[in-house]
Amino acid sequence: MLVCRLALRELWISFRLLLLLAVYVAAGTVAAVVPAPLPTTLFRLAVGLAAAGVTAAVIAAWSLSRERALGRAAWLATHSIPRATILIGWFVPLAAVSVLGLLAAGSLGWLATSASSARPGALAFAATVASIATLVMALLALGLLVGALVRAPAAALVTALACALIVAVPWAAVPPVTLPIEALARLPELAAPTSLAVQGAGAGLLATAVLLIVARGALGRVDL
């Protein structure tokens, strides 16, 4: 809890928290304010949320690698704070801010779809946004893993490339692999969007857990 508070204050003072929230809100605002047919609105919202997720992961990688470079992680470790706590202490506030941002962006996106007669069901829309939240958590965990291994600014660059690939490649794949973000863009076409979202959420949570465990192992072996 102490590391969470320190991380949250560090994010606030360095404007990283505001930047993250702003990217999510901007994604929702573009979808809500710029008039377009429903598929275009959903596509814009999906692209915006993908950009926000990549930004969140880059901030995670940058933050953890900076904590190591500035000796703060080492200072906490020499004051009886386990390395796993340092990792979770950064994951929790970043995930919480991302969920808040997704709530705002999702609400704006839902408002943007209200004009269309082909509007998706509320449950399907909410479930898809929730599954995107789990994908963002997995990207955050990946960012923390890179931040545990690579020094900034290379950590930010590697994370940006890796996350952009994760988000973009399934989109371009043939046959298509339906990640939650792609599912949002194709929501009106999907036969069973809610069950697909639940599957996506499960996969996202599993990926998050695996990546956090790997990141914990990596952070335990590197010099802080």
Partner 1 sequence: MAGSTDASSAGWGRRVAYLGPDPGLYTWMTPTEALCLAGGLLDLPADETARRASRVLAWTGISLAAAAAPLSRGGAPLQQRTGLAAALIGDPEVLLLDEPLRALDEGERSRMLKLPDRRRTVLLASRHPASEAGHVEQVAYLRGGRVRLIAPIAALERAELPLSHRGIVALAEMEAALSVAPGAATA
- DSSP category for residue 167: H
Residue for token digits 């930047």? Answer: 19
Q: Which of 25, 38, 51, 81 binds partner 1 (CB under 8 A)?
A: 81
Three-class secondary structure of residue 192 per DSSP: coil
- Residues from 31 through 70 that contact partner 1 (CB under 8 A): 70
Q: Which of 1, 35, 80, 191 binds partner 1 (CB under 8 A)?
A: 80
Q: Which of 52, 61, 73, 156 binds partner 1 (CB under 8 A)?
A: 73
DSSP string, 36-102: --HHHHHHHHHHHHHHHHHHHHHHHHHHHHHHHHTTHHHHHHTTT--HHHHHHHHHHHHHHHHHHHH
* Nearest distance, CB of residue 72 and partner 1, angstroms: 5
Options 5-13, 38-46, 84-92, 119-127: segment touching partner 1 (CB under 8 A): 5-13
Residue for token digits 């802080």? Answer: 224
Options 74-82, 99-107, 147-155, 179-187: segment touching partner 1 (CB under 8 A): 74-82
Q: Which of 2, 34, 118, 173 binds partner 1 (CB under 8 A)?
A: 2
Q: Which of 82, 84, 100, 170 binds partner 1 (CB under 8 A)?
A: 82
d(CA 46, CA 41): 9
d(CA 155, CA 159): 6
Which residues contribute to the site for partner 1 (CB under 8 A)?
Answer: 2, 6, 9-10, 13, 70-82
